[in-house]
Amino acid sequence: MSIDAVLGDLTTEHADALVNAANSSLLGGGGVDGALHAAAGPALLAACRRVRAEQWPDGLPVGEAVATEAGNLPARWVIHTVGPNRNAGQTDEALLASCYTRSLDVALTLGAHTIAFPAVGAGVYGWDAETAARVAVRAVAEHPRTGIERARFVLFSPRLYNAFSAELARLA
Ligand code: AR6
């Protein structure tokens, strides 16, 4: 079982499950959410609408995770999670950690062997790179993820890549 970080675009990452930094509506947005929906095609939005209708009528709570199909993405599932919005005063790191923990819980339920994450919360929601990386790497490293062979962080900027790499080096 490995945990690594790469500089790249999550929409072209091949994994059983790709994690989306969504918002509670699950109906799309900007950032990596917008990019995943654009690459997946309309099947992803349709699946998200079904989740809202059947499982989370009031929206997905912060720190929770839920899976859908992945449309045209190179994955079997998208696992949607909602980071705390630091810019809106949601400063609890435990909620950010929960995004990773709950995503891994869902991945294990699905039978996923590989999973790829963006830096949840590190864009529109305002978490700085160092905190985002520390919380993410610790949450994944501490998870009893039996059955998952590879957890990968796919970072969109050199600054985030460096922050995640430094945290991973600290683990080793
Ligand atoms: N691949 C990997 N990472 C990406 C990509 C990509 N294609 N595109 C952006 N990122 P954000 P959040 C990085 O804003 O902070 C959305 O509108 C980006 O550089 O996507 O959790 C949702 O609908 C940043 O480092 O997510 C919500 O409303 C990281 O992904 C809100 O933004 C996360 O940035 C969620 O905000």
Among 4, 9, 16, 33, which one carries the catalytic annotation?
33
pLDDT tens for the chain, residues 1 to 172: 799 999 999 999 999 999 999 999 999 999 999 999 999 999 999 999 999 999 999 999 999 999 999 999 999 999 999 999 999 999 999 999 999 999 999 999 999 999 999 999 999 999 999 999 999 999 999 998 788 999 999 999 999 999 999 999 999 8
pTM (predicted TM-score) = 0.98
Read off the tokens for 53.
């209708």
- Kindly report the protein residue whose alpha carbon is nearest to atom 18 of ligand 1: 123
Residue 1's pLDDT is what? 77
CA 111 – ligand 1 centroid, Å:
26
15's CB contacts (< 8 A; 6+ apart) are: 74, 75, 112, 114, 115, 116, 150, 152
Residue 109's pLDDT is what? 96
Confirm if 26 and 52 have CB atoms less than 8 A apart: yes
- Ligand 1 site residues (CB inside 6 A) read 9-11, 21-23, 29-33, 35, 83, 118-125, 154, 156-157, 160
CA distance 106 to 160: 25
Q: How many CB atoms lie within 10 A of CB 16?
A: 20
- Kindly report the protein residue whose alpha carbon is nearest to atom 33 of ligand 1: 123
CA 22 – ligand 1 centroid, Å:
8
